[in-house]
Amino acid sequence: MFDKLLGVEERFSKLEQLLSDPDVLQDRAAYQKYSREHADLSELVAAFRAYKKKLSDLEDSMELLKDSDPEIKALAKEEIDSLTNEKEKLETELKKLLTPKDPNDEKNIILEIRAGTGGDEAGLFAADLFRMYNRYSENRGWKVEIMNKNISGAGGFKEVVAMIHGKGAYSVFKYESGTHRVQRVPATEAQGRIHTSAVTVAVLPEVEEVELNIDLSEIKYDVFRSSGPGGQSVNTTDSAVRLTHLPTGLVVTCQDEKSQHKNKVKAMKVLRARLLDKMTQELHDERSEERKSQVGTGDRSGRIRTYNFPQGRVTDHRIGLTLYKLEHILEGNIMELVEGLTTYFQAKAMQNESSANSYGA
């Protein structure tokens, strides 16, 4: 790790020289490129320099242990204990900073929520989850744009697809993919029996056109009239859009806008995200079982969380975290869950990185 960090520090110093070079200053593209790289490395280099200072201070304190004065030796021992603790904290931080970052973390997301088993109750909980994510996003100042929705007869959602515009949205929501289980007494249950229902959530990073070029000749394009609950028409023009990607069979429908063009643009965004996600999932499936376990969140089929209303608790089964503040969480206060998941998966990534480096060595 130390040799790798020395190389990073050397590159950082080189970038500082480049950013003061007159030729680079006149080349806007080159200057922006080097500025971004310099900014990306600054936190890591600052931590590494602090770490080297602690090592130097530790070495000086170790020398003081050789002093014949008992008081100086006692002070040196206290200083060594303190410096050792600080050094270990910096080592943990450096490992975290060296762990490869997810290139999608800063992206907007496509959020897809679908009612699973449980009938109308599952649809109502799908609406509850969407409201939870919507509240959280609004509190962050992020824009939530509904791409498509299919309302159930009870007023919930059979399906809702939305784009969340916000820097870092994917880093927050990426661990929400999976099956969310709810246990509660439905309003229609006269005998007060607890029902268990399920809702699936998929979180896809937004994919720019330059990242994935789709051959338009491979897309079947249909238009139809938008419909509401029960199938009644809510629009008098053929503004709803259905896109079918012929090679994969993926189908995307968008009818939230009154404009056919706007619906088509939205549908293409969703299709692009689903296609890239499908390619990623297929790549995961081709890898070994060991690699699959390292990916961690690649499989969306597993139950990840339970919301138990009688007990007022939320349990995330991946990290064994239980919080007895269900209503608070459903109001959009999900950061405790997000931070717990982020810490867990970052630690797992660091462990995998460390194992890979040891194997390579």
Answer whether 202's CB lies under 8 Å from 300's CB.
yes
Q: Is the pLDDT of residue 291 over 60?
A: no
Q: Is the pLDDT of residue 360 over 70?
A: no
CA–CA gap between residue 2 and residue 233 (Å, rounded): 66
CA–CA gap between residue 226 and residue 236 (Å, rounded): 8
- Residue 223: which residues within 8 A CB-CB, separation 6 or more? 238, 239, 240, 241, 242, 260
CA–CA gap between residue 275 and residue 291 (Å, rounded): 22
Model pLDDT, residue 295:
34
Rounded to 5 degrees, φ, ψ at 67 are: -65, 145
Model pLDDT, residue 110:
92
Answer whether 241's CB lies under 8 Å from 222's CB.
yes
The enclosing H or E element of 250 equals strand 250-254
Tokens 């603790």, residue located = 85
Q: Percent of the chain, pLDDT > 70?
A: 86
Neighbours of 276 (CB within 10 A): 17
Q: Is the pLDDT of residue 355 over 60?
A: no
Answer whether 124's CB lies under 8 Å from 179's CB.
no
Average pLDDT over residues 310-339: 95
Q: Is the pLDDT of residue 230 over 90?
A: no
Model pLDDT, residue 102:
78
Answer whether 149's CB lies under 8 Å from 178's CB.
no
The DSSP secondary-structure symbol of 233 reads B
Average pLDDT, the chain: 84
Q: Which tops the pLDDT comparison, 138 or 2?
A: 138
Average pLDDT over residues 201-224: 82
Confidence band (pLDDT; 50, 70, 90) for 343?
A: confident
What domains, with CATH codes, occur in the chain? 2-97 (1.20.58), 105-206+300-361 (3.30.70.1660), 213-298 (3.30.160.20)
Confidence band (pLDDT; 50, 70, 90) for 221?
A: confident
CA–CA gap between residue 263 and residue 148 (Å, rounded): 9
- Taking alpha carbons only, the member of 276, 229, 235 closest to residue 259 is 235
CA–CA gap between residue 203 and residue 136 (Å, rounded): 15
Model pLDDT, residue 211:
66
Q: Which tops the pLDDT comparison, 188 or 149?
A: 149
Reported as a single tens digit per residue, the pLDDT across 52-82 is 999 999 999 998 888 888 888 899 899 999 9
Q: Is the pLDDT of residue 22 over 50?
A: yes
Model pLDDT, residue 300:
44
Q: Which of 85-89, 224-228, 286-290, 291-295 has the lowest mean pLDDT?
A: 291-295
Model pLDDT, residue 66:
85
